[in-house]
Structure 1
C-alpha cells in the first residue's frame, strides 16, 4: 500500500469537500419548473443525420426543434473512466458526483490508479440524493419520469433510486414506486410486483397497463403510472400508434398532469432507445428515434415559453457507436449528393429489430419479398444466405447485437450496406455531447460544461436552499449512527432485508427499498426511501427516525 502524507491527505479531503459543494459558475435565477431531456447515447453525428433526413423527407423544415437552443457541449465521464455508462453519467447529472459503471446515484468505490476526481474511500456505497428527490423533499414539487424503456432502466433509475448495480431491478423498481412519483410513463409491466401494486392502491396512485385509451383520456390530479409492454417500448418506426403512445404524447400528458402542482415540478424525459439503435449499429433506428425525441423537445419548449417559469436542459448522457455521415467506401465524399446519402435510408419502413420480428415469423421463401416491401432492397444470393444462416440466432442483449451473428445484426448489416453511414463500435464513445437549454431570463449554461457543472446548474435552477451533501446527511444516515448503542437486528429472511430496532415494548421495523416503516406494526410514511447495501451490511435512512424511539 502506498503511504500518503498527512498534508496530502488533508488536501485530498479538502478537495472532496470543495468538489461536492461548489456552486454553478454563473448566477441562475430559480424557476418554478425544471425539465431535463436526455436522448440516451446520442452522438452529434446522429443529430446531424436526423436533421438532413428531416430536410430530405420534408418532415418539418430545415431545423430540428432543439436547434435554436444549442449552447455548448458537455464533458461526461465516469469517476474512473472517460467513456461513461448510462448509470454513472446520468447519476452525475442528478447527484453531482461522477460514478463507476453500474452505479445508480451512489458514491463510487475508490479506484486510486484510475480515478479522475478525488474519491473518499470511506464514502463507498453511500446513497446520494438526486435533484428529483430534492425537488420533492425540499420544495414539495411534483415529480415525473417519461421514458421509452422499462421504468427501472439506468437513466430513470438514476433520478429516483440508489444501488451499486443497475441491473438489480427488484431493488430499483421498489424504490421508484415508493418515491411516490406523480408521473411515471414508459414500459415494464412485467417488473411490477404485488407489493408495488398494493402500494399504489394505498397511495391512491392510478395504474394504467397496456391501455392507450385510458391513458389518453386520463386528466385527473392523482399520481399516475402508465406502462406499456412487458419491458421496453418498440422503436418509434415500428410502433403501432393505436397501441403505444409516442414519446411526444407521453411528454405532453406528463406536462398536463405535473403543471397542476402549485409548487411546480421536476420532469425527466428520456429518448431511451437512440442508445439501443446505436448499440445495434442501426442507422435508420438512430435517426428516427432521435426525431421522435426531437418532437418531444418541441412540445417541452412550447410549454416552457408559454409558461414563463420553466427551465429546460437537453443533453445526452454519453456518445455511442461513432455514428458518421460518410464511410470508408463512399467515393468522392465531397460530391455525394443529399440523394446519394439519404435516398435509401428514407425507404426503410422498419428498424432492423422491427424487420427481424417479421422475418422470424415468416417462411424463408418469403424473405426476399418481405425485405423488398420494408426496405426496397432486392436481396442478392449472398445477403439471402446470410439471413438464412443466422435466422435461428437471436441476440437477447441489445448492447451486443452489433457484435454477434444473429438475425438482427444480419438484417442491420444488409440495410446499412445500402447506405453510407458508418459506425466505429457497438459500444459507448467518449466524445463530448451537445448541450441545449432554455431559461425565461436567459440564464443558460454555455460553452463546455462538465457533468458535475450540469448538476450544479440544475440545483441553481431549482433554487435549492439545502445542498445535496447536506440533504444526504438528513435522509441517508447510516443505521449504525442513528441507532448507536441501541438493540437492533437485520432480518434477511424476506425478499428485502428489514432493520428491527427495539426499545422497551416499542419495535421499529424498517424495510429496505421502501418509504414506509412500521412502529409496533403501524405504518408510517416517510418522505424518502430507505436503502440497504449488502456490501457493508448497512441501512441508509432518515436520521430523524430516532424520534420514534425517544
Structure 2
C-alpha cells in the first residue's frame, strides 16, 4: 500500500483529523471497565499554565537548593502512582484557554474558549461541584488568583463570559459552596464593583464565615460549621517571590498551602466526603509575563500545597489525589551554556518578581537606577546599555501581554535576562502541548495512558461511585 493511501484509508486518517479538529470524538467516550475501590474524597490540583519546562525547572531549583526533589516528582516516584498524558484542546481551538479547559473537566464537554460550561449552541453543562454537592458531599475551591477566575469557576458555574466575575461572585452566593478561598477583594467590594453592591455583606448576612486576611483565616475554628468565603488582596494574591520578601504581605496574605490546609480542615468534617479544587493560578500569570523567578517560585508554592494534600491522602486512604495543569504556557526552558548551572542557581537568591521591578520604574529614572533595581530584585548586574534600552520602553508603554494592563516591557526584560539565567520562553501565551496528569489513590488504577481533558469529568464521578 502506498503511504498516501494508508493515510487516506487507515486509522491514521482519523487520528490526523482528530488533531486538526479538536472537537472530534468528544461525545464518543471510550468504554472502559471500571475496577477497584471508590473514593470518598477527591482533591483535584491544577498548576494553571504549567508547561513541562516549568515542572522540570522548579524541581531542579528545589534539588539544587535543598537536595530533594519536588513533592510532585516524589509523588511520581511513589509506588501506586499512575501517570498519563492529557490532550487539552477546546471546542473552538486546538489551543485552549483556562475557562474552556476547566469547563471540560467541570462539565464533561469541550466548550468554546472564553465560556464556562456553555456550549456553542447556548446550552449548559451542569458543573461537577454542583453534582457532587447534590449528592451530599462538601465542595470547594482554593486559588492564588481571584476565586471568581476561570479555573475555579469552571468547576462551579455556567457563564457565557469568563470575564463576568462580578456576576460569578453572586452565583457563588446562590450555590453556597462550603469553602471558596482566593484573591479578588475588588470583585466583592462595594467601592470597586460596577453595581456598588457589598457582596461581602451579602455572604456574611446569609450565614457565611467571611475572612479577609491571613490571621482571620488561620483563626477559623476546626468546629466551624458555616460555609467559608475567604478573599484576600485586591485582585490576585501576590507572587510568592514578592510575598516571602515583604513582611506586610507575609502577615496579611496566606500561602496556597495554608489555604489548602484550612480548606481540608473544613471540608473533611462531612461524613459523606468532599471534592475540592486547588489551583496555583499565578503560575499562568507569571508565564504570560515571561517572569522566570515568579514562575518557578509560584510553582514551588503550588508544590508546597501539594505536600499538604499528600499528607492528607497518606492519613486518609479513601482520598483520590489528581495533579495536573489545564494547558501549557510560554514553553519556558533551561538552555545550554558554559555557565548554565551557575546562572540557574542565581534564582536561589532572587528577591522579587519582574512585576515588582517594572512597576517601580518610570520614564524619569536613569539607567543607573534601573540597573540598581534589577540587581536588588534579581541579583544580576545588567549593563548600562541594557538598562538604557529597557528604559526607552517607558517613553511609550505599548508592550503586549495578558494581565499587563500597564503595557510594561515584560518580554524585553525576559529576553535581556536570558543570558543571566539561561532561561528562555517560546511565547507569552498558551500552548497546545499534551500535559502531565498524575493520580494517586482509589480510582487511579483506571487511568489510561492517554486521555482527553473532558474525559476526566466522568472519571471523577465514577471514582466517587456516582454515575454521570
TM-score (norm 2): 0.84
Match of 1:294 in 2: 303
Partner of 2:200: 197
Q: CA deviation at 1:324?
A: 1.7
Question: Higher strand proportion, which one?
Answer: 1
Instruction: Sort the Cα spacing of 1:367 and 1:396 in 2 relative to 1 into closer, same or farther, 3 A.
Output: closer
Return closer, same or farther for 1:224/1:307 CA change in 2, 3 Å cut-off: same
SS of residue paired to 1:415: helix
CA, structure 1 residues 250+65, in 2 after alignment: closer, same or farther (shift >3 Å)? farther
- In 1, the alpha carbon distance for the partners of 2:106 and 2:36 equals 17
1-structure distance, mates of 2:28, 2:432: 24
Query: 1:393, 1:406 within 8 Å by CA — same for their partners in 2?
Result: no
Out of 408, 412, 415, which is 2:414 matched to?
A: 412
Aligned partner of residue 266 in structure 2, secondary structure: helix
Give the drift of 1:221: 2.1
Residues 252/395 of structure 1: CA separation in 2 closer, same or farther (3 Å cut) = farther
Query: Does 1:263 pair with 2:279?
Result: no
For 1:491, the equivalent position in structure 2 comes to none
What SS does the aligned partner of 2:186 have? Answer: helix
Answer whether contact 1:66 1:298 (CA < 8 A) is retained.
no
Query: What is the correspondence of 1:269-280 to structure 2 with a 5 Å cutoff?
Result: 269-280=278-289
Indicate the residue corresponding to 2:126 in structure 1.
129
SS for the counterpart of 2:325 is coil
For 1:435 and 1:76, how far apart are their aligned partners in 2? Answer: 11
**Which residue in the other structure is 1:458 paired with?**
460
Alignment equivalent of 1:181, drawn from 159, 174, 177: 177
| 1:382 matched to 2:394 | no
> Would you say 1:99 and 2:111 are equivalent positions?
yes
Aligned partner of residue 402 in structure 2, secondary structure: helix
Q: CA deviation at 1:185?
A: 0.9
Secondary structure in structure 2 of the residue aligned to 1:242: helix
Quick one: distance in 2 between partners of 1:435 and 1:134?
23
Partner-residue secondary structure (3-state), 1:164: coil
Aligned twin of 2:101: 89
2:87 to 75, 92, 97: 75
User: Paired residue for 2:152?
Assistant: 156
CA 1:144/1:361 → structure 2, altered by over 3 Å: closer, same or farther? farther
Equivalent residue, structure 1, for 2:13: none
Q: Is 1:313 paired with 2:322?
A: yes
| Count of residues paired in the alignment | 427
Q: Secondary structure at the match of 2:155?
A: helix
Stretch deviating more after TM superposition (416-425 or 428-437): 416-425
Q: For the pair shown, which has the larger CA radius of gyration, 1 or 2?
A: 1
Do residues 27 (structure 1) and 35 (structure 2) align?
yes
CA RMSD of aligned residues (A): 2.8
**2:255 aligned residue:** 246
1:167 has 2:167 as partner = no
Tell me the distance in 1 between the aligned counterparts of 2:404 and 2:76: 31
CA deviation digits over 1:373-413, x for unaligned, max 9?
A: 222222312222123223466679851659x9724444333
**Contact between 1:38 and 1:316, CA under 8 Å: does it hold in 2?**
yes
Mapped partners of 2:350, 2:418: distance in 1: 10
CA deviation after TM superposition for structure 1 residue 53, in Å: 0.9
| Deviation at residue 442 of structure 1 after TM alignment | 5.1
Which of 448, 451, 455 is the aligned partner of 2:450? Answer: 448
Q: 1:444 to 1:269 in 2, by over 3 A?
A: farther
The equivalent residue for 2:20 is none
Change in Cα spacing, 1:295 to 1:65, as seen in structure 2 (3 Å) is farther
Report SS of the residue matched to 2:158: coil
When normalised by structure 1's length, the TM-score is 0.72
Distance 1:247-1:396 versus aligned 2 partners, 3 A rule: farther
CA change 1:167–1:79 in 2 (3 A) is: same
1:207 aligns with 2:210: yes
Quick check: 2:320–2:444 contact (8 Å CA) kept in 1? no
Report what 1:349 is aligned to.
351
Q: Contact (CA 8 Å) 2:340, 2:422: kept in 1 or not?
A: no
Q: 1:346 to 1:201 in 2, by over 3 A?
A: closer
* Contact 1:23 1:456 (8 Å CA) reproduced: no
Please give the alpha-carbon distance, in whole angstroms, between the structure 1 residues aligned to 2:398 and 2:200: 32
Whether contact under 8 Å (1:50, 1:288) holds in the other structure is yes
Cα separation, 2, equivalents of 1:81 and 1:129: 22
Q: Which residue of 2 aligns with 1:372?
A: 375
Does 195-204 or 91-100 show the bigger shift?
Answer: 195-204
Alignment counterpart, residue 142 of structure 1, candidates 138, 141, 147? 138
Residues 238-268 of structure 1 deviation map (CA, whole Å, 9 limit, x = unaligned): 1132121111111001000110111111100
- Contact 1:238/1:354 (<8 A) preserved: yes
Q: Cα distance, 1:62 vs. partner?
A: 6.8
